[in-house]
Amino acid sequence: MAGYKNFEVNRNKQKNTVGVFDRKRKFNKSSDNITKSEKLMQGVAAWAAFYLSRPDIFADEYLGLSLKPFQKILLYCMMHYNYTALFASRGLGKTFLTALFCVIICILKPGTKIVIAAGQKGQAMKIVTEKIPELMNMSKTGMLKREIKGSIRTSMNTDDPNVEFLNGSWIKVVAATQGARSARANLLILDEFRMIDPKIYKNVLRRFLASSRQPAYLDKPEYKNKQEYLERNKEIFLTSCFYKFNWSYERFKVFKKSMLNLKKYFVCGFPYQVAIKENLVNKEQLLDELAEDDIDEIGWHMEMDTLFFGESEKAYFKTEEIQDIKVLQFPVYKKEIQELVKTKKPFHKKSDNEIRILSCDIALLGGDANDSSVFTLISGKKSKNGTKYKREVLNMESFQGLHPETQALIIRRLFDDFECDYIVLDRQGNGISVYAYLCRKLYDPERKIEYQAFISMNEKNDPKLEAFHMEDEYEERIFTISATEEFNSDIALDLKDKITNKRISFLISKNDVREHFVNEPWFNKLSIEEQVQLLNPYVQTQLLENEMVLLERLDHPKYVKLKEQAGKRKDRYVSVAYGNHFISLKERELSKSNRSYDIDDDLVYY
């Protein structure tokens, strides 16, 4: 960075001492004897050398692009360092800036070969199909269009997206897979590299950089077979920050150490404040997002604050373990959302070997502002030998401050929409009021149907619950829970076991699924509100993960005791833990299939 200090002050001084066009320069006799053509080429060489040292000036003068100060600095670093890693918040335009650097180096260094790779090929293609055409339209001089050969292929479905330049340079896009193969590259760009398998990077992608660029001057005797004249190939790593267990964090530490040791490594992070300062994002919009009750705080910490996240040493659930079980592509949607989905890909159709649980953790009415009522759909699918259930958390809804009757109505709607078999209900606090409404027939004015009365299947003879049983016709569909210290310890141990052994699965991240939906025409036709509803199960799953990794285990001689951090919540965790516990009880039925068995035979009442 030292070579870039006060670059604006020195800019005119540099320009006035460059090339044979400087009027103040006194040519010696040998210079006077060269031809006009040779003088021209000397000038071209001098200006090219100057622009290579100052790519930001080249972008301004040759391409006619106005850049922000931080963009000028980053272009300089990309040009002068062999390894560059940028960790940037959303909205900062790192893909745009990388595309600009690609076209600059392709123009100034003929025959440059660039390969762009990403975890998803569509992400890498944005540089070719979106950003370079955008640069062509922004260029005030129109020179970029004159440098590119033919037209850019803009089809997102092309198998070989690339840009070719008239001087022999080119940019190609590859998928970061074991089968990725390409001609040799001089510049390797890894977009959202945290999503790339590190083995693919080391064994496949990095092998593209086997040979250096071969400009024609290397064939001259004075340069031939001299290593000091060979250009170094470059690597650029782009991503937002992520969890510390991901290899991107280790890569960050490698870059930091190498940079401090004055090697040609450069790493930096640009949080959302930079985007606000440079007027790239709307400040009020970001502040509104930050103030929302259901904000993904860990996601904001990583994506917007540009900080890596790692759970504390006391964390009971580990981030890496939870990430390993986030494999489910699609949720089960409630009725009104199902009607919006037009994808041809199959969603979860209920099978004969499957049970579905709606697990409910009820918040106190008018209680702590951090408390929410959470309703979670968990599917249990029998194993091939019929002795175990594989759990899948397929949807989740959360609400605050609702009347018990309204909550009971929501539960009954979700029960039908999700084709559930059982309700798991926390009967403590406001839960007993919700139970009282579930025990009677409920009329739904929106759907114009009447719901059957449900009562407890395991505590139906409890006097406190029996007082609410007013209907002659009912079904025993509710498994009621009254948690104790021992019970809470048991469900924590049980859920930890299922996560560790990968016998429970969560939905994939909202960012991963957004990439799929954005390419669906029907999704883009939906209103913003409808899109938000469609992505809500993924958002809730992320909030569930955040709750779980922030739960810390307290020292206790007998039980596992989990405590949420100040101001945090654990409602989603509790809802999932309840449902998982019920399915574990149902598994005991499967293991005792040789005799007549009922779930009541094996329940402990709390």
CATH assignment of 54-277, given 3.40.50.300, 3.30.479.30, 3.30.2130.10, 2.30.38.10?
Answer: 3.40.50.300
505 Cα distance to chain centroid: 18
Residue 32 pLDDT: 59
Q: What three-state secondary structure class fits 577?
A: helix
As given in the structure block, the two tokens for residue 344 are: 């041809």
Q: What three-state secondary structure class fits 509?
A: coil
Residue 79 to residue 74: CA distance in whole angstroms: 9
Burial environment of residue 443 by CB neighbours within 10 A (0 to 12, 13 to 18, 19 or more): exposed
Which parts of 429-469 fold into alpha helices (H)?
A: 431-438, 463-466
Strand partners, 423: 358, 478
Query: Over the stretch 326-339, which tens digit does the pLDDT of each residue have?
Result: 999 899 999 888 88
Query: Over the stretch 81-93, which tens digit does the pLDDT of each residue have?
Result: 999 999 999 889 8
Q: Out of 117-131, 188-202, 297-311, which region has the weakest mean confidence (pLDDT)?
A: 117-131
Question: How much is the average pLDDT of 6-33?
Answer: 46
* Rounded alpha-carbon distances, angstroms, from residue 326 to 273, 533, 581: 31, 20, 20
Question: How much is the average pLDDT of 256-284?
Answer: 93
Report whether pLDDT(596) > 90. Answer: no
Report whether pLDDT(601) > 50. Answer: no
Question: Domain limits of the chain?
Answer: 54-277, 319-590
Which is more confident, 505 or 525? 505
Residue 531 to residue 516: CA distance in whole angstroms: 13
Predicted confidence band of residue 41 (pLDDT cuts 50, 70, 90): confident
Whether the Cβ atoms of residue 206 and residue 232 lie closer than 8 Å to each other:
no
Report whether pLDDT(434) > 90. Answer: yes
Query: Over the stretch 271-301, which tens digit does the pLDDT of each residue have?
Result: 999 999 999 989 898 888 887 777 788 888 8
Whether the Cβ atoms of residue 263 and residue 343 lie closer than 8 Å to each other:
no
Report whether pLDDT(153) > 80. Answer: no
Q: Out of 147-151, 277-281, 431-435, 466-470, which region has the weakest mean confidence (pLDDT)?
A: 147-151
Which is more confident, 364 or 389? 389
Q: What percent of the chain has pLDDT over 70?
A: 88
Q: What is the mean pLDDT of the chain?
A: 86
Residue 215 pLDDT: 86
Predicted confidence band of residue 435 (pLDDT cuts 50, 70, 90): very high
- Neighbouring C-alpha atoms within 13 Å toward the C-beta of 598: 5
Predicted confidence band of residue 487 (pLDDT cuts 50, 70, 90): very high
Residue 216 pLDDT: 83
User: Of 373, 459, 365, 356, which Cα lies nearest the Cα of 410?
Assistant: 373
CATH number 3.30.420.240 is the correct assignment for the domain at 319-590: yes
Asked if domains 54-277 and 319-590 share a fold, the reply is no
Residue 371 pLDDT: 73
Residue 16 pLDDT: 46
Residue 24 pLDDT: 37
Which is more confident, 23 or 545? 545
Query: Over the stretch 50-62, which tens digit does the pLDDT of each residue have?
Result: 999 999 999 999 9
As given in the structure block, the two tokens for residue 307 are: 């900080």
State the helix-helix crossing angle for 69-80 and 36-53, rounded to 10 degrees. 110
Q: How many residues does the structure list for the chain?
A: 606
562 Cα distance to chain centroid: 28
Question: How much is the average pLDDT of 363-375?
Answer: 70
Residue 22 to residue 16: CA distance in whole angstroms: 6
Residue 372 pLDDT: 85
Report whether pLDDT(545) > 50. Answer: yes
pTM: 0.76
Burial environment of residue 566 by CB neighbours within 10 A (0 to 12, 13 to 18, 19 or more): exposed
Residue 582 to residue 422: CA distance in whole angstroms: 9
Query: Over the stretch 550-560, which tens digit does the pLDDT of each residue have?
Result: 999 998 888 99
Residue 148 to residue 167: CA distance in whole angstroms: 9
Residue 570 to residue 579: CA distance in whole angstroms: 15
Query: Over the stretch 105-132, which tens digit does the pLDDT of each residue have?
Result: 999 999 999 999 987 767 778 888 888 9
328 Cα distance to chain centroid: 15
